[in-house]
């Protein structure tokens, strides 16, 4: 059975000193910033994926818990990539439910945008859609924790890919005026993804709500529109 330390050791071999210097600034670990206290060893995501392929099937959830609770960012990121792999490879509904429960029980460690974005829609969004349990994402959206709120809206990516948009619009509106820029970006990003699948859905939403949207959300949402239409929204000419 693979232990958490086996994966930590494998990651340490792939650590790049230059990345170790860059990542703290990129992920905002300064005093008062959202990743304050995070540690970094400098392992790239492609290299983390190599570790995932080598170890995902040999580590239990109990051992994965130790990796996911590590103060080292790359340990947590790799743990989440392993969890996604386990979920996607599983054909057992009870096992998938166990993985979702494990994810939610450890969500305090899923505390940066990359950790949320690499995992939540592939696990929580998938599960919510397939079991018709959208309340799972709604509950996260109502949380006081920003990362849980981000999990909720990003989790709807799975719904968008399946051509269903109502939950995305609902959750975007629920936290539309959240004070943190990372939520503005997430809301705008998911609306943009909706528009890539169905441009009319995005335009109908924007025509009703764009004047009260934070500027960052609006810019993200309209990024793929043609320039003239983008300027119409930015200049409030719609």
Reported as a single tens digit per residue, the pLDDT across 157-179 is 999 999 999 999 999 999 999 99
- In DSSP terms, which residues pair with 59 in a beta bridge? 2
| 52, 82 Cβ separation under 8 angstroms | yes
pLDDT per residue over 92-147, tens digit each?
999 999 999 999 999 999 999 999 999 999 999 999 999 999 999 999 999 999 99
> What would the DSSP string read from start to end of 32-78?
TSTTTT-B-----HHHHHHHHHHHGGGB-HHHHHHHHT-SBHHHHHH
Which residue range(s) make up the domain with 144? 119-238
- In DSSP terms, which residues pair with 2 in a beta bridge? 59
The CATH number of residue 54's host domain is 1.25.10.90
**Residue 71 maps to a domain:** yes
Answer yes or no: do 91 and 147 share one domain.
no
**Residue 223 maps to a domain:** yes
Answer yes or no: do 156 and 68 share one domain.
no
* Of 64, 97, 130, the domain-final residue: 97
Please give the tally of structural domains in the chain: 2
């Amino acid at each position: 059975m693979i232990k958490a330390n086996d994966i930590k050791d494998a990651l340490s071999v792939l650590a790049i000193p230059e990345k170790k210097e860059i990542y703290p600034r990129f992920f905002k670990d300064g005093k008062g910033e959202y990743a304050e206290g995070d540690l970094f060893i400098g392992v790239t995501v492609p290299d983390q994926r190599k570790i995932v392929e080598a170890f995902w099937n040999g580590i239990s959830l109990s051992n994965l818990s130790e990796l996911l609770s590590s103060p080292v960012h790359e340990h947590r990121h790799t743990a989440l990539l392993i969890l996604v792999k386990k979920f996607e490879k599983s054909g057992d509904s009870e096992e998938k439910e166990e993985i979702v429960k494990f994810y939610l029980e450890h969500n305090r460690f899923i505390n940066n945008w990359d950790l949320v974005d690499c995992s939540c829609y592939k696990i929580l969004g998938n599960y919510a859609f397939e079991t018709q349990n959208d309340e799972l994402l709604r509950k996260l959206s109502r949380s006081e924790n920003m990362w849980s709120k981000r999990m909720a809206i990003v989790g709807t990516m799975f719904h968008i890919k399946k051509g269903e948009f109502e939950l995305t619009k609902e959750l975007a509106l629920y936290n539309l005026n959240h004070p943190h820029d990372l939520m503005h970006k997430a809301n705008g990003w998911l609306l943009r993804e909706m528009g890539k699948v169905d441009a009319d859905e995005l335009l109908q939403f924007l025509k009703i709500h764009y004047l009260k949207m934070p500027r960052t959300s609006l810019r993200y949402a309209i990024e793929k529109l043609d320039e003239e239409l983008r300027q119409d929204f930015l200049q409030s000419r719609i």
